[in-house]
């Protein structure tokens, strides 16, 4: 059952008929590197088969822990940064109504799933503590090492709040840890304190980890069906095994974006027409940016939320520097529909839309924008999904994961490492005065 449809029909003026065929040999080679593990970073490909060979016993424990949190907490504070939070955040937003986390407790069936440890903002943490107030809450802290600065600070703060509210013994029963199987500071503390622990798989990098315990626990706490999420990913895994570009739309997407990149379209905008897809784009930006942005090359991933951003970025996209390509995720059937009502008179000029729906207007906006931007020499691709169900999301996640794996190898880079991420951390540690970084700290302070 295919739940994602890729449309490259608007690329006719940018890509010649023979160009996709010419990519087939390169795609075959990239597929071999990915599937047989002959490419760089092969130790981090376990996400490829994760939808079919995940730990069933741990999966059952995740659902049991989620049920407990749902029964005893009004809030789950999910602590992590990068891939340790973006996947869960985008999934919670994608799978629920726009204002899911804004509803008061008396209108909720499931806890609020809120996030911390993804910045160093004191105001954010203070405001989150104020929002929780005296309500019951639990923590899910997600970190491979347990020493990453942002989540480690947040964990200290919210752990202290738990102990203050419940006492140490009960607080420990409200702390859920997702970390390395064998090593690291967080693993050591979890073993010492008796926290319930879930595993970050060794062979899966953070940006590919949403379908592991990293994402599944907070997603399940929100009330979403993680069985269907995994089923959707499994269907995509089975659908995207054939490297034939006439049969594999995820590979098509990878090939087309690389054809365009070689023609100078170096920035890709991922766009949507539903506000609760905003964080899907944030997840996608990490997936694409960390996978491809290295060795002084790679497509720069950016995003826009339409039709909102058409009133701010629309001018630049239409007539600015011609280095942009666009990929739109469009939902064919939104969660809800609203009719445009009739009124007396026609002062607002909308009489011609009476008895139409907002989705009709949204669809025509998407179609009109696509034609305008194509006319303005911006290549446009689209990914159509039927709905916002867990099955569809699992399928969509896998679509982009396998596409970027192929895309990275097409561009001759390792799509599974992120060496540049460490540069800022070294400077930050030195400026914070971390032991062992004193000499560098002195040098950096002279430059400030």
Inter-residue contact 276 to 93 (CB < 8 Å): yes
Under DSSP, is residue 111 helix (H, G, I), strand (E, B) or coil? coil
Whether 425 is catalytic: yes
Cα atoms in the Cβ-side hemisphere of radius 13 Å centred on 338: 5
Distance of CA 325 to the CA centre of its chain: 20
Sheet holding 112-116, edge to edge: 112-116, 75-79, 137-142, 175-179, 196-199
Buried-exposed string 384-400: b where 16+ CB fall within 10 A, e elsewhere: ebeebbbbbbbbbbbbb
Phi, psi angle pair for 262, to nearest 5°: -70, -15
Judging by beta carbons within 10 Å of its beta carbon (0-12, 13-18, 19+), is residue 266 exposed, middle or buried? middle
Judging by beta carbons within 10 Å of its beta carbon (0-12, 13-18, 19+), is residue 29 exposed, middle or buried? middle
What is the distance between the alpha carbons of residues 361 and 332, in angstroms, rounded to a whole number? 13
Please pick, among 290, 292, 326, 401, the residue that the annotation labels catalytic: 290
Phi, psi angle pair for 87, to nearest 5°: -65, -45
Beta carbons within 10 angstroms of residue 149's beta carbon? 15
Q: Are strands 175-179 and 380-385 parallel, antiparallel or unpaired?
A: unpaired
Please pick, among 13, 247, 364, 425, the residue that the annotation labels catalytic: 425
Task: Give, in order, the Cα–Cα distances in Å from 213 to each of 144, 226, 344, 372.
Answer: 12, 11, 55, 43
What is the distance between the alpha carbons of residues 301 and 319, in angstroms, rounded to a whole number? 19
Q: What angle, 0 to 180 degrees and rounded to 10, lies between the N-to-C axes of helices 249-262 and 24-36?
A: 120
**Would you state the structure tokens that stand for residue 335, as one six-digit string?**
């969660």
Cα atoms in the Cβ-side hemisphere of radius 13 Å centred on 296: 0
Inter-residue contact 253 to 6 (CB < 8 Å): yes
Query: For the chain, percent helix, then strand, then coil, each to nearest 5?
Result: 55, 15, 35
Cis before residue 307, ω within 30 degrees of 0? yes
Whether 290 is catalytic: yes
Active site residues: 290, 425
């Amino acid at each position: 059952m295919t739940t994602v449809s890729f449309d490259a029909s608007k690329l006719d003026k940018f890509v010649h008929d023979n160009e996709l065929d010419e990519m087939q040999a390169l795609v075959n080679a990239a597929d071999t590197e990915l599937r047989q593990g002959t490419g760089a970073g092969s130790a981090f490909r376990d996400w490829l088969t994760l939808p079919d060979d995940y730990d069933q016993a741990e999966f059952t424990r995740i659902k049991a822990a989620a049920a407990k949190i749902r029964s005893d907490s009004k809030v789950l504070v999910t602590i992590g940064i990068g891939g340790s939070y973006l996947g869960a955040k985008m999934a919670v937003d994608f799978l629920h109504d726009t204002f899911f986390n804004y509803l008061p407790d008396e209108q909720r069936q499931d806890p609020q799933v809120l996030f911390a440890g993804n910045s160093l903002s004191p105001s954010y943490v203070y405001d989150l503590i104020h929002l929780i107030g005296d309500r019951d809450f639990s923590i899910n802290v997600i970190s491979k090492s347990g020493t990453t600065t942002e989540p480690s600070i947040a964990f200290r703060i919210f752990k202290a709040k738990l102990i203050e509210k419940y006492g140490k013994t009960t607080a420990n029963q409200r702390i859920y840890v997702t970390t390395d199987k064998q090593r690291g500071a967080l693993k050591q503390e979890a073993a010492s304190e008796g926290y319930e622990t879930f595993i970050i798989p060794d062979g899966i990098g953070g940006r590919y980890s949403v379908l592991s315990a990293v994402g599944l626990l907070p997603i399940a706490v929100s009330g979403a069906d993680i069985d269907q999420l995994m089923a959707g990913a499994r269907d995509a895994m089975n659908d995207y095994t054939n490297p034939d570009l006439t049969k594999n739309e995820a590979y098509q997407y990878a090939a087309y974006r690389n054809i365009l990149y070689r023609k100078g379209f170096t920035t890709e905008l991922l766009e949507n027409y539903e506000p609760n897809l905003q964080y899907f784009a944030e997840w996608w930006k990490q997936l694409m940016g960390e996978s491809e942005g290295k060795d002084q090359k790679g497509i720069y991933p950016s995003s826009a939320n339409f039709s909102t951003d058409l009133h701010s970025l629309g001018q630049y996209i239409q007539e600015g520097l011609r280095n942009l390509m666009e990929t739109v995720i469009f939902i064919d059937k939104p969660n809800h529909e609203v009719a445009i009502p009739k009124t007396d008179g026609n002062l607002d000029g909308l009489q011609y839309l009476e008895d139409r729906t907002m989705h009709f207007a949204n669809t025509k906006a998407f179609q009109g924008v696509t034609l305008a931007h194509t006319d303005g020499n911006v290549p446009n691709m689209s990914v159509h999904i039927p709905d916002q169900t867990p099955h569809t999301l699992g399928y969509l996640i896998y679509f982009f994961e396998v596409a970027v794996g192929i895309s990275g190898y097409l561009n001759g880079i390792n799509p599974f490492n992120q060496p540049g991420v460490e540069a800022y951390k070294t400077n930050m540690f030195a400026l914070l005065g971390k032991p062992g970084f004193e000499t560098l700290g002195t040098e950096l302070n002279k430059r400030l």
